Amino acid sequence: MDAPTRTRSASKAPWTPWRAVVAFGVVSLAADMVYEGMRSAAGPFLGSLGASALTVGVVTGAGEAIALALRLVTGPLADRSGRYWSLTFVGYALTALCVPLLALAPFLGAAGLATASVLILLERTGKAVRSPSKSALLARMARVVGRGRGFAVHKALDQVGAFAGPLLVAGVALLTGRLWLAFAVLAVPGVVSLLLLAQLRTQVIAGTATDAVAAPPTPIAEAAHLPGSFYAFAWSCAAGTAGLMTFGVISFHLVAADLLGAGVVPVVYAVAMAVEAVAALTTGFAYDRWSARVLYCLPVLIATIPALAFSGRLWVVLVGIAVWGLATGIQDSTVKALVADLVPQARLATAYGVFAAFQGVAALAGGSLAGALYTHHLGVLVGAVATAQAVSLGLLVTTLRLRPAPTDGPRP
């Protein structure tokens, strides 16, 4: 074999499982730049088109509801059809297309607000379409390298995009004075995400990354029901999520208590995103080394957040926000690794869809509870969250006792 031939062969070397996992993380990084960049400025943008505060709340709230509730449909659809890659691609394509198209809204006159609202809802629909399939594919890719590590690395890369996207939008808007132009610029990372996803799919379907992902799905009849251990864990995480109030409530306290100015709050949020990435990496690697027992720390962390984050002292609140970042990072990464270890492979997408529904309802309930009790009943809120976390911990113990023996090979 001559030198040019050897060079071409080397350039076509099979992708390792780790390379596939990292590539999927970069896909999410690029896509997160697009939709997190848009979400960071969606309120002011809709306002510039004539929307009232109520309209902004309805549009963004409906978008988050769609992103969670629709997974109850798209998860089972992926498992029944086996079209994990197609649904993932369609979901990312909706995000890559709808966000840059927002740049046209200011030029559409009276139709601008309605158009922007529809595009935002379609982008959130894309999130619902891709998320169960994406998580199922990632769980299969990460089986070889360790699901805790795989989800951790993916989450860390994802958070880089969540940090960079809003900064990109802010920079373009600051330099040009045109928010719509910032949305147009987000077409670049959107196209990058689709090109890389297409390359990743080619490699995996060809069997060069991991045979588990390329294999056809098990017929749905072979796994008609999700196991009891899964539902115990879903309820455990729902109780945890109910206590893990949104950053919006915490940031409201920072400003209302005159601890920070509104302009500094995004910087605090960016630091919390960095803490999320560190938490995901740390607990993800620990999950593969010491098993799911590492998740016992999650209810304990969440139980401390209200007392810290709603303090009257800035340094205490900042500690609370750091703990909030730790807990959120674990929930968004290592928790998903255990979901994959609890359910049959043929039901992964369905499980992630159902799990998202549990978390969505709990997040709505927890946010409402925190908002209602924050002003006059902070002690009651602290007690309610602590109680919910005791329930969460008990259900987590039950989950690990009911957990079936692994059926997809030993963990690395």
Q: Is the pTM of this model over 0.85?
A: no
Q: What is the pLDDT of residue 248?
A: 62
Q: What is the pLDDT of residue 405?
A: 57
What CATH number corresponds to the domain at position 371? 1.20.1250.20
Answer whether residue 410 is part of any domain: no
Q: Are residues 210 and 258 in the same domain?
A: no
Q: Which among 217, 241, 264 is the end of a domain?
A: 217
Q: Which among 186, 217, 248 is the end of a domain?
A: 217
Answer whether residue 276 is part of any domain: yes
Determine the structural domain holding residue 93 and report its residue range. 15-217
Q: Are residues 84 and 230 in the same domain?
A: no
CB 232 within 8 A of CB 398: yes
Overall domain count for the chain: 2
Answer whether residue 2 is part of any domain: no
Q: Are residues 213 and 229 in the same domain?
A: no
Q: Are residues 238 and 162 in the same domain?
A: no
Answer whether residue 1 is part of any domain: no
Q: Quote the CA–CA distance of 160 and 316 in Å, as a whole number.
A: 26
* Distance from the first to the final alpha carbon of the chain: 37
Q: Are residues 213 and 227 in the same domain?
A: no
pLDDT of the chain, 412 residues: tens digit per residue: 444 444 444 445 668 888 899 999 999 999 999 988 887 777 778 888 888 867 776 787 677 778 888 998 999 999 999 999 999 999 999 999 999 999 999 999 989 999 999 999 999 999 999 999 999 999 888 888 888 888 889 988 988 898 888 888 888 888 888 889 989 999 999 999 999 999 999 888 765 444 444 444 444 433 447 888 999 999 999 999 888 876 667 777 777 788 877 556 667 777 887 888 888 888 888 888 888 888 999 999 999 998 898 888 899 999 998 999 899 889 878 898 899 889 888 888 899 999 988 887 887 777 777 767 777 788 888 899 999 999 999 999 999 988 865 544 444 3
Q: Are residues 148 and 264 in the same domain?
A: no
Q: Are residues 61 and 121 in the same domain?
A: yes
Answer whether residue 175 is part of any domain: yes
Q: Are residues 154 and 262 in the same domain?
A: no
- CA of 13: how far to CAs of 52, 239, 305, 344, in Å? 55, 46, 48, 32
Answer whether residue 407 is part of any domain: no
Answer whether residue 227 is part of any domain: yes
Q: Are residues 301 and 184 in the same domain?
A: no
CB 75 within 8 A of CB 353: yes
CB 241 within 8 A of CB 366: yes
Q: Could you identify the residue written with the tokens 């960016």?
A: 270
Q: Are residues 32 and 140 in the same domain?
A: yes
Q: Tell me which residue of 340, 351, 318, 331 sits closest to 403, measured CA to CA.
A: 340
Q: Are residues 209 and 262 in the same domain?
A: no
Q: What is the pLDDT of residue 263?
A: 52
Q: What is the pLDDT of residue 123?
A: 94
Answer whether residue 10 is part of any domain: no
Q: Which among 199, 217, 235 is the end of a domain?
A: 217
Q: Tell me which residue of 133, 156, 149, 155 sits closest to 204, measured CA to CA.
A: 133
Q: Are residues 195 and 283 in the same domain?
A: no
